[in-house]
Amino acid sequence: MRTEISTLGEFGLIRRLTEGIELKNKSSQYGIGDDAAVLSYPSEKEILVTTDLLMEGVHFDLTYVPLKHLGYKSAIVNFSDIYAMNGIPRQITVSLGLSKRFSVEDMEELYAGIRLACEEYEVDIVGGDTSSSYTGLTISITCIGEGEKGKVVFRNGANETDLICVSGDLGAAYMGLQLLEREKSVLHGADKNVQPDFSGKEYLLERQLKPEARRDIIEKLAEEEIRPTSMMDISDGLSSELLHICTQSKVGCRIYEEHIPIDYQTAVMAEEFNMNLTICALNGGDDYELLFTVPISDHEKVSEMEGIKLIGHITKQELGCALITRDGQEFELKAQGWNSLQEETDPIEKPE
């Protein structure tokens, strides 16, 4: 069944998509249903705001991205930005630009993913907008969160001798994207009855299509009374994010190839594609893991924390930023990750 959006109109569509939403956070005083939402935060909290714009054909390809997964991921990437500030996401607004090829049922599927993410992370949907679009699907989500005063973490706080840490593993999302792009190109020239074979590669697909924000890491750091000196989430690649921290903190760094966490499936896939595994882990992006620095005095604590890997240390600015290879060679770190405004495609850039 296909229901044209025009049969409902803008407000009818919004009512259909947001029906049954219940507010869970105390800071959400009034949500969908009026000209604006009403939020109320205690004076001891800092209010954090972030927004992400996702464009069809630039940030996602609906050939292989299910709408429910897309909705989930669209919300998660915003939650991740709030966690990267050592905060907690509380509310989102969702704005959509829709072309005529999308039906009401399509948007219900997209919203099902957004609502699932909000349920999992206890975030309220408090508003948004819809509009017609001539360029496909556009998704803009703004997330509002809270952080305790004095505990919000910025990019510019890294100090000489700090330890560099990452959560999880790197490069899997990029390998998942390569796998999806390969199967897409194969299917375009094949019999329509041919089905892609993703057996044994489920982890890579999940990392690309349904990433998770690392709330658990923020909670672990709080439990251990560790306040990172700087932090970012890894959306554009480890090299790019680490260079942001070093530039804004006016420091240098050394990271060690042998300590970069990489999953076995990622390594197997990189070999199958004849790609350099370390370059993929450094520059692939879309991992949404946390990159952060801590004082050297926290070495013992972070070393024992599950899901966190020490990969290097901060140095003086004049020493620059470098990767130390397994055989002891030193290479300058370069930001070769994804840049949606770049005209020419880097070897490691997302092809979406």
Q: Supply the pLDDT for residue 13.
A: 87
Calculate ∠ Cα 303-304-305, nearest 5°: 95
Do residues 313 and 185 share a domain?
Answer: yes
Q: Supply the pLDDT for residue 5.
A: 83
Among residues 21, 27, 53, the alpha carbon closest in space to that of 41 is found at 27
Q: Supply the pLDDT for residue 271.
A: 96
Tell me the average pLDDT across 142-155: 97
Tell me the average pLDDT across 126-139: 92
The conformational region for residue 160 under phi > 0 = left, psi -120 to 50 = alpha, else beta, is beta
Q: Supply the pLDDT for residue 193.
A: 59
pLDDT tens figures, 209-264 = 999 999 999 999 999 999 999 999 999 999 999 999 999 999 999 999 999 999 99
The CATH number for 27's domain is 3.30.1330.10
Do residues 324 and 191 share a domain?
Answer: yes
Q: How many domains does the chain have?
A: 2
Do residues 196 and 326 share a domain?
Answer: yes
pLDDT tens figures, 67-87 = 999 999 999 999 999 999 999
Do residues 170 and 30 share a domain?
Answer: no
Tell me the backbone φ, ψ of residue 94, rounded to 5 degrees: -125, 120
Do residues 179 and 143 share a domain?
Answer: no
Do residues 200 and 103 share a domain?
Answer: no
Given a contact cutoff of 8 angstroms between Cβ atoms, the answer to whether 183 and 205 are in contact is no
Q: How confident is the model at residue 352 (pLDDT cuts 50, 70, 90)?
A: very low
Q: Which of 18-22, 189-193, 302-306, 338-342 has the lowest mean pLDDT?
A: 338-342
pLDDT tens figures, 274-301 = 999 999 999 998 999 999 999 999 999 9
Q: Supply the pLDDT for residue 188.
A: 65
Domain of 86, in residue numbers = 5-148
Burial (0-12, 13-18, 19+ Cβ within 10 Å), 44 = exposed
Q: Supply the pLDDT for residue 113.
A: 98
Do residues 219 and 143 share a domain?
Answer: no
Residues 6 or more apart whose CB falls under 8 angstroms from that of 17 comprise 107, 108, 111
**Cα(178)–Cα(146) distance, integer angstroms:** 36
Q: Check pLDDT > 60 for residue 346.
A: no
